[in-house]
Amino acid sequence: MEQNTVKWREGGKSAPWKKDIPRKFMYLKPADIKPEGWLRRQLELQAQGLAGHLDLIWPDVRDSRWIGGDREGWERVPYWLDGFIPLAWLLEDRGLQKRAKRYIDAILSGQQEDGWICPCGMEEREHYDVWAAFLICKVLVVYQECSGEEGGHSVEEAVYRALKQLLNHISARTLFGWGAARWFECLIPLLWLRERRPEPWMDELAYVLEGCGIDYERLYARLSFDRPGAKRYWTYLNHVVNVAMALKSRAEMSLLTGEDPDAFALDFYEKLQKRHGMAIGHFTGDECLSGTSPLQGSECCGVVEAMYSYEELLSIGGNPFWGDLLEQTAFNGLAATVSADMWSHQYVQMTNQVECTRMPQGKMPFNSNNEEAHTFGLEPHFGCCTANFGQGWPKFALSTVMRTEKGLAVTVLAPVRVQTRVAGREVCLTVDTEYPFRDSLRIRVMPEEPLEFELSVRIPGFARAAQIRVGQETRDAVPGSFYMIKRCWEKEDVVVVELRFQEEFAERPSGMWALRRGPLFYAMPIEAEHERIEYERDGVERKFPYCDYAVRPKSDWAYGFGAGPVREVQAEMPGMPFDREKPPVMLETEMVPLDWKKEDGMCRERPESVEPLGAPVKKRLYPYGCTTLRMAEMPRVEAPKRV
């Protein structure tokens, strides 16, 4: 048993005990949600791709210490399971579920008598970063929520024992490293456990975590982490993944303290956008916060962790702004940094990305990432994103419809079918849509018998106008809000949502511009040539379909936006929702050729001149998420008049 064990009183004045503070929106059980349409197809591609095969091909998951092997025994198996488990249950795939259960059974059987759950010896504990303990407890919660009663008691008991042991451990040793940077992640399994079997020591653990961890609110009130001209630096304090996670830190604590769940997150996001914002509304970090240049990268882990923060912020505080950011980040940032077939990914994506090949030594623009970080492959630069990117789309699907105090809310716009209970009665709700590639939704509400409840629908803040039609009645809805419909729902009642978007240019700090329409940003696609690279390094084999790729441009890319009109062009939905060759929607406009140089595998940050090199040409721009090579941040140019 551990030494220096702290004895925590189970009651009395020693525990800062508070009643639960409810979330604005409550997640449904995963079994209640069935993705449909393009969203289901995206999950199927993920299951058929890299994230669905890591336990079969990648030593750090296949042979991990978590299941008795000799490979990495820290964050990679938990990261992978965090996406693989909800993927398996959303697709109702018994084969995937069986593979997930094998890992969960091994993790539960490996838990020590005193509750320690991570795969290390007693002598290793003092130097073991307990971030992995937070993460594996989150995973066990995900497994229990997905699998239902299957192994439920043993999972809950394992989380209980692990967290109680963690309180003794960190009280004697305090947090360090990633655990100190990500302390609030432990609140997720802790608050789940507290709802099921509340005991005063759980509040003690929450406040000990808070006391040991980095206080991002105070830190970023005093520091901006701007480092003009500085390169090759690395810190925990502005690491992009820590920052993406920290957006939700005070919201998680608000469930204990009652503080405003949005105040810190809104202020923090505004600061990130001002100093490190990307054209798509995400923020750079390669690997730490990196400024606003379109050549700086943003880590894939940061993308999916920002999405999870937005999901939690939306659930806890109910602010529709976080739903806007969640959609924007998923449809642009996540879709672009993972290949359309889901077999490869980047470590970092670049806004203006004209080539994805290994850069010359010392020529990369990144702060601490290496020369291959922006290439596509199995584990470019570092394997954390290989394990972690799989949580993005499954958790997005789990956030589409949530429960409210008086009904249901369509919180994220995507095609799903929900079967759940409202006021003790069975209700089926479907969202039929091809949004974000189209502008309307058809919501069917089908209670087993007439039932009165509230249905709230999130109206995206980037819409210019919106209308809601229920039966013969049509009303305007306010963008950036939830439109609430309270009525007695009859079987087969239908709600039609019509959204009106407008093409708009957003000015960037560089003096260049980005083009968007609704949730989608658009980029000029660059025709690409893909070279497969198969090899072995450090005992890890790369071979098709999980090989690496060198991606080179085959078409001109040096353009600026012209002065002509912008026209939307719709196409058929492709087999892969974010197909690089056949996107489901495009914008057509005039582009003007410019003198814009490329060297060391990159375009320069700005063109040499904005003087046109010729007459404007009509080009079709693709959604940012439907591009591999692209130009998304460009000057607006007054083109010469045609003769």
What are 420's strand-pairing partners?
A: 427
Contacts of 365 (CB under 8 A, 6+ apart): 286, 293, 295, 296, 297, 602
- Using the structure block, give the residue that is written with the tokens 């997150």: 265
Q: Given this model, what pLDDT does residue 5 score?
A: 39
Q: Please say if the pLDDT value at position 302 is more than 60.
A: yes
Complete DSSP assignment for 333-386: IIHHHB-TTSS-B-SEEESSBS-BSPPPTT----SS--TTTTSBBSSSS-THHH
639 pLDDT band, cuts 50/70/90, is low
Q: Using CB atoms within 10 A of its CB, is residue 599 exposed (0-12), middle (13-18) or buried (19+)?
A: exposed
Instruction: Identify the residue whose tokens are 């969202």.
Output: 431
Q: What is the pLDDT of residues 457-478, one digit of tens each?
A: 999 999 999 999 998 899 999 9
pLDDT given for residue 183 in this prediction? 98
CB proximity list for 114: less than 8 A, separation 6 or greater: 1, 2, 165
Question: Span 85-111, mean pLDDT?
Answer: 97
Position 148 scores a pLDDT of: 87
529-546 b/e (C-beta count within 10 Å ≥ 16 → b): eeeebeeeeeebebeeeb
Q: Which two tokens stand for residue 531?
A: 């070279």
- pLDDT interval class at 494 (50, 70, 90): very high
Question: Do 297 and 589 meet the contact criterion of CB atoms below 8 Å apart?
Answer: no
Residue 199 has pLDDT above 80, yes or no: yes
Q: What is the DSSP string of 562-612?
A: -SS--EEEE-PPPSSTT-SSS-SEEEEEEEEE-B--EETTEE-SS-SB-S-
Q: Cβ(297)–Cβ(373) under 8 Å?
A: yes
Residue 6 has pLDDT above 60, yes or no: no
Point out the least confidently predicted range of 108-117, 180-189, 228-237, 446-455.
228-237
Over 50: is that where the pLDDT of 215 sits? yes
pLDDT of amino acid 233: 78
More confident residue, 126 or 9: 126
Instruction: Indicate the pLDDT class of residue 224, thresholds 50, 70 and 90.
Output: confident
User: How are beta strands 33-35 and 503-507 bridged, if at all?
Assistant: unpaired
| Cα 240 from chain centroid (whole Å) | 13
Under 8 Å between Cβ of 353 and 509: no
Give the least confident one: 146-160, 251-265, 425-439, 440-454.
Answer: 146-160
Per-residue pLDDT averaged across 97-115, rounded? 97
Q: How far apart are CA 395 and CA 397, in angstroms?
A: 5
Token duo for residue 187: 């609140």
The pLDDT tens digits of the residues spanning 400-437 come to 999 999 999 999 999 999 999 999 999 999 999 999 99
H or E element at residue 396? helix 392-398
Burial of 56 (0-12, 13-18, 19+ CB in 10 A): exposed
Mean pLDDT, the chain, integer: 94
pTM, 2 dp: 0.96
Q: What is the mean pLDDT of residues 491-514?
A: 95
The pLDDT value recorded for residue 492 is 84
- Through-space distance between the first and last CA atoms of the chain, rounded to whole angstroms: 86
The predicted model gives 553-581 an average pLDDT of: 97
- The pLDDT, as a whole number, for residue 638 is 77
**CA–CA–CA angle 567, 572, 573 (5° rounding):** 110
> What's the average model confidence in pLDDT over 318-325?
98
Q: Token match 């795969």: residue?
A: 119
Average pLDDT (338-355) is: 98
The answer to whether 640 touches 615, Cβ cutoff 8 Å, is yes
Instruction: Find the angle CA(314)-CA(319)-CA(322) to the nearest 5 degrees.
Output: 55
> Residue range 22-29: average pLDDT?
97
Q: What is the mean pLDDT of residues 161-187?
A: 97
The pLDDT of residue 12: 36
| 299-328 average pLDDT score | 98
pLDDT computed for residue 149 by the predictor: 62
CB atoms within 10 A of CB 200: 16
With bands split at pLDDT 50, 70 and 90, how would you rate the model's confidence at 223? confident
Strand order of the β-sheet with 401-404 is: 26-27, 401-404, 407-410, 451-459, 481-489
**Residue 227 confidence class, pLDDT cut points 50, 70, 90:** low
